[in-house]
């Protein structure tokens, strides 16, 4: 269900997620892209997964799969994930950390529950976003960067805590290096607190993770995204307390095309990536080499249609 706003309302559109399967029995709530809105600034994709309780012996297993011309951003509220990629990276992501993987001209990665968490049982809850790259940087060399939670600045106001995951806002600057100007914030409001989002953040989307949020007299519950009207300040409040993320930034001058795990300003580049994954997957000197430590498995190219 979506809703459009009156002209004076700072909430221009409300997006509700759809359930999507990642395979192997793992489901997510997908907010972006949506039919009504393909992107918010440079953010092309937002998946919300969990909170899901995994019994002992069961884990999340997202098998090796490719990306091009984008950056993946993983942020957890609960649980752990082992990230491996074709650069040779092996990193356990924990709650509060942020993983920023720039696919550039091509990378392969997998995301699995660590063996220790799988053995004891665990809860997994978090977000994964994709950020488009400026056209001049789409074919940059792939890279991976991990930032532990304690390295990310937290700005505190009365009843408000703002963790700056990427970009700069409210006097805090994230150490995460990006290829375009953007902002990604994790915000907690105590009961009765409020926060004004400045218009200078560019395109702004507010995804409500938990609790209740109100804006201009309209109430919103968890698992929806408020797409705010450009250049209009918006005050967000919560009666009982809330947690939400803010994504923002200037949109690219040209559209981005998405297909499966690929994003690009060029439709022809997507077609090349399809052929490369189908015919050249795993070649050491190819665009999609194997993932060290996870070489024997992969997600096949989806059937057309």
The per-residue pLDDT for range 66-119, each reduced to its tens digit, is 999 999 999 999 999 999 999 999 999 999 999 999 999 999 999 999 999 999
Nearest residue to 96 (alpha-carbon basis) of 204, 243, 202, 237? 243
| 133/135 Cα distance (integer angstroms) | 6
Reported pTM: 0.94
Nearest residue to 152 (alpha-carbon basis) of 237, 92, 94? 94
SS3 content of the chain, % helix, strand, coil (to 5): 10, 50, 40
pLDDT of residue 1: 38
Average of pLDDT values for 21-42? 88
**What average pLDDT is seen over the chain?**
94
List all residues 6 or more positions away from 94 whose beta carbon is below 8 Å from its beta carbon.
76, 79, 80, 149
Residue 24 pLDDT > 70: no
């Amino acid at each position: 269900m979506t809703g459009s706003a009156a002209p004076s309302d700072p909430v221009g559109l409300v997006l509700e997620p759809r359930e999507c399967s990642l395979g192997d029995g793992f489901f997510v709530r997908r907010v972006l892209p949506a039919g009504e809105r393909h992107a918010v600034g440079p953010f092309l994709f937002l998946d919300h997964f969990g909170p899901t309780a995994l019994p002992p012996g069961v884990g999340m297993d997202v098998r090796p799969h490719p990306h091009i011309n984008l950056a993946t951003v993983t942020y957890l509220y609960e649980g752990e994930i082992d990230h491996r990629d074709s650069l040779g990276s092996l990193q356990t992501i924990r709650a509060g950390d942020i993983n920023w993987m720039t696919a550039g001209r091509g990378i392969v990665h997998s995301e699995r529950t660590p063996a220790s968490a799988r053995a004891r049982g665990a809860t997994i809850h978090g977000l994964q976003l994709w950020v488009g790259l400026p056209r001049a940087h789409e074919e940059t060399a792939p890279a991976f960067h991990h930032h532990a939670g304690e390295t990310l600045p937290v700005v505190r106001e009365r009843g408000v805590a703002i963790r700056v995951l990427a970009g700069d806002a409210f006097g805090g600057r994230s150490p995460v290096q990006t290829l375009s100007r953007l902002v990604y914030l994790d915000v907690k409001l105590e009961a009765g607190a409020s926060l004004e989002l400045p218009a200078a953040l560019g395109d702004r989307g507010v995804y409500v993770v938990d609790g209740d949020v109100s804006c201009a007299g309209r109430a919103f519950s968890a698992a929806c995204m408020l797409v705010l009207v450009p250049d209009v300040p918006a005050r967000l409040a919560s009666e009982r307390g809330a947690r939400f993320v803010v994504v923002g930034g200037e949109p690219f001058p040209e559209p981005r095309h998405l297909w499966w795990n690929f994003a690009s300003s060029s439709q022809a580049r997507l077609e090349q990536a399809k052929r490369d994954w189908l015919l050249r997957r795993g070649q050491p000197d190819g665009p999609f080499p194997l993932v060290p430590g996870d070489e024997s498995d992969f997600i096949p190219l989806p059937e057309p249609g």
